[in-house]
Structure 1
Amino acid sequence: MSYTMIRHLRRTAMLSQQIRVESTMTNLTQEDFVFRPPLANWSKIIREAEKIVGYPTSFMNLRWLLSDEFANLAMHLRKIVGSNHPIMKTAKTVLYNEQNNLQPWGLIILLLAKAISPTTHSLQTSTLTEHQRMLAELTEMIRTGHYIHKGLLNIPMEERDEKKDTSMFANKIAILIGDYLLVTANGMLARLRNQDLSYLISTALRDLSEGEFFGPRDSQNMPLPGKPLSRSIDSFKINGDTIPLNVTDILGSPIREWTLRNMYNGGSLFGRGCEGAVLLAGKDIAEQKKAYLFGCHLCLAWQAASELPKFCPENKEPFSLVSAPVLFALNESPELYEEIKDINNVSCIDYDDLKAKILKTDSIQKTKLLYTQNADKAKSYIEMFGDNESVDTIKRLINTL
């Protein structure tokens, strides 16, 4: 892909329209919501981490963005400039990864791999490093492909007329791009020729798929919260088993429902990516399990931290109805559930009014605690991999959230 094409993609992304909601006045300040550091500080740590692994993670995206196959698909994105299709927002997120996506999965996997890899240089060590890089890259590609597929619009047959031609075309492009990334990632996985690793990643793919059918949904397949339970055991134990995730007595229990949804939506994949890096290094099952639990809890901590800014009064972005603050608020004030239980399309919700009601509960404090608990667990697991530069850098990344 030429530099001109990359510039066209950036312009396409910048022209995408985003749904906005009015901000809500509250006595909470912006500092009560934001965990993330200034971009300059975050970028500094990322650059230091890339020096450690010797591999700029920006190349992970560029390696497939610059391919001929993707270039042909990207050409068609220009035809839907100005539309409100989710694929435009997705393109912006991918192209402006540093600012819009502060969850460097591939870099973390490479840092973990560096922490456990031999310090001696040999052909065997070089091969191991290359395989771990491929694992980090294919994990990112699966994640991005799944994210693109989640942005499809469900258009009823009776509405598929000329007015919907742009949306139908955008759906086709989203399907092709997502399929390209997933197929390419699976091809890379096959080239690693490791049956155990293939099995681990396949269980993550299973979880991604099952997550799309879990719980109530609106007409656009956007998730809706479960009915709050009056009594529930609100905890979710994550283990390293490869069996399907436990869905018993989940809906309606805030922490259990939130944890399971986010394990389905990426926690399992990131955990398996970390576990796979340890497996490739030849470590035993116990070490692999530690890596999996580290990845899962780090992903959950990132998710909790990313949800809080959406409820900042100055933030005008819509928020997910299954985010932690919403689930905690519904549990504390079940009458809120009656207002959204029969929603046919989440875009019809009065987010301004709902945010005001959520902020009257202690859901923000509970979400901050949820972040702290998962961040502490992630740090405790990564510390089990020794005291070295890579582990220290991972801890710094966690601490800056």
Structure 2
Amino acid sequence: MLKLDEIKRPIEKELDDFEGKFKSSMKSSVPLLDRITHYIVKRKGKQIRPMFVFFSASLCGGITEATYRAATFVELIHTATLVHDDVVDNSYERRGFFSVNALWKNKVAVLVGDYLLATGMLLALNNDDFNLLKIISDTMKEMSEGELLQMEKARRLDISEDIYYEVIRQKTATLIASCCACGAASAGADAATVAKMRLFGEKTGMAFQIKDDLFDFGTDDVGKPLGIDIKEKKITLPLIYTLNKVSTKEKHHIINLVKNHNEDSSKVAEVIHFVRNNGGLAYAEMQMLRFQDEAFEILNTFPENEARTGLERLVRFTTERKK
């Protein structure tokens, strides 16, 4: 499997410079806020989203100062949504660390998320990056709509595959789409190229989310505890497919387990076993690879170079990763 350190090598210096700019962007005159943002930076993730920004910029004309602002803006928005999501989900842990709301309570966490959102917007406005602001604002709107759509549909626990795709397109794929679009825009690409890169990112984001869904039903080495989505009553693609191919009686039984017995580990195990034995994983993996192939079709319309290779390897990483 591809290692992230190998994939990022062509843009390693840019990512190191970005880290410094990202940290500086969150500085404030409020000691409490600085303590919290320092804590957030200390537990940073894999830098996948900034990598999409830098590789996309490199593919579409070259990395500029605006590219660093685009990567910082995207990461600020991503971080803000994670902080807010932990409040919404009443979650006290993220990536093995206590969440912001676990340490500083919900009110502080919401205000920190708001601060990060405002910081990102001001970064774009103060540098006249109106194209970046438009892309990210559209993304924030879609992410909010996707979250609310999922909440609305989750009450019934019986959603269609089409609705599922719309939820993950808005909730997850749109952010990766904005990374690629912002990268292209920061390099001075024309509107058609920016739109093409946005669609490439969206296809990649769809594959990324389906991979996350598969983790919930996979083996114990994936880095994510099994059955988390089931316990949270989230209806994901492997389960949707399986429910649609079995008898009405079996379907109602499984929906009842998810709805009313999701805290019982033996019942959760029964749901996982049900999905595994009825082709749910194989179908979801097939759809994941379909989105990946569609992303590659778009990418292959660009000239072959180091940036295109970097994006191709990054897409493969999203579908081959272990966590």
TM-score by length of 2: 0.78
Pair 1:113 & 2:57 matched: yes
2:7 is the counterpart of 1:63: no
In structure 2, C-alpha distance between the alignment counterparts of 1:288 and 1:75, rounded to whole Å: 37
Counterpart Cα distance in 1 of 2:178 and 2:202: 8
Secondary structure at 2:304 match in 1: coil
Runs of 5+ unmatched residues, structure 2: 91-100
In structure 1, the residue matched to 2:215 is: 309
| Equivalent residue letter for 2:115 | Y
Partner of 1:80: none
CA contact (8 A) 2:150 2:167 kept: no
Instruction: Give SS of 2:64's match.
Output: helix
Whole-angstrom CA distance in 1 between matches of 2:269 and 2:56: 42
Please tell me whether residue 353 in structure 1 is matched to residue 270 in structure 2: yes
In the alignment, which residue of structure 2 is the partner of 1:224?
A: 154
Residue aligning to 1:21: none
Tell me whether 1:326 sits opposite 2:288 in the alignment.
no
> 1:367 — aligned with what?
284
Q: SS at 2:256's partner residue?
A: helix
- Match 2:45 to one of 97, 111, 116: 97
Work out which of the two has the higher radius of gyration on C-alpha atoms and give 1 or 2: 1
Q: What CA distance in whole angstroms lies between the structure 2 residues aligned with 1:62 and 1:342?
A: 41
Whole-angstrom distance in 1 between the partners of 2:269 and 2:35: 37
Q: Paired residue for 1:286? A: 192
Deviation, 1:55, is 3.0
Determine the C-alpha separation between the residues in 1 that align with 2:119 and 2:53.
Answer: 19
Cα distance in 1 between the residues matched to 2:129 and 2:34? 33
Give the conservation status (yes or no) of the 8 Å contact 2:33–2:112: yes
Counterpart AA for 1:326: L
The answer to whether the Cα contact below 8 Å between 1:227 and 1:337 also exists between their aligned partners in 2 is: no
Do 2:184 and 2:194's aligned partners in 1 also have CA atoms closer than 8 Å?
A: yes
Which 5+ residue runs of structure 1 have no aligned equivalent? 1-36, 78-90, 119-127, 156-165, 218-222, 229-251
Distance 1:324 1:57 in 2: 38
**Are residues 313 and 93 of structure 1, via their aligned partners in 2, closer, same or farther at CA, if it must alter by over 3 Å?**
farther
Please provide the CA RMSD for this pair.
3.3
SS at match of 2:195: helix
What secondary structure does 2:86 align onto? coil
Q: 1:259 aligns with which of 161, 165, 170?
A: 165
Q: Quick check: 1:54 aligned with 2:22?
A: no
Matched, 1:268 2:174: yes
CA shift, 1:276, in A, is 2.8
TM-score under structure 1 normalisation? 0.64
1:63, distance to aligned residue in structure 2 (A): 1.1
Q: In 2, Cα distance between the equivalents of 1:183 and 1:389?
A: 35
Name the % identity: 18
Are 1:263 and 1:296, in contact at CA under 8 Å, matched by a contact in 2?
yes
Residue correspondences, number: 296
Relative to structure 1, is the Cα distance of residues 50 and 332 closer, same or farther in structure 2, using a 3 angstrom cutoff? same
- 1:112, distance to aligned residue in structure 2 (A): 0.9
Aligned-pair CA distance for 1:275: 1.8
Aligned to 1:300: 206
After the TM superposition, list the runs of 4 or more consecutive aligned residues in structure 1 that deviate by more than 6 angstroms.
91-94
Q: Distance in 2 between matches of 1:368 and 1:70?
A: 47
Any idea what SS the aligned residue of 2:227 has?
coil
Q: 1:337 to 1:74 in 2, by over 3 A?
A: farther
> In the alignment, which of 136, 142, 163 is matched to residue 207 of structure 1?
142
Asked if 1 retains the 8 angstrom alpha-carbon contact of 2:215 and 2:226, the reply is no
d(CA) in 1 for partners of 2:241 and 2:19? 39
Match of residue 96 from structure 2: none
Q: Distance in 1 between matches of 2:20 and 2:193?
A: 26
Q: Which amino acid aligns with 2:193?
A: E
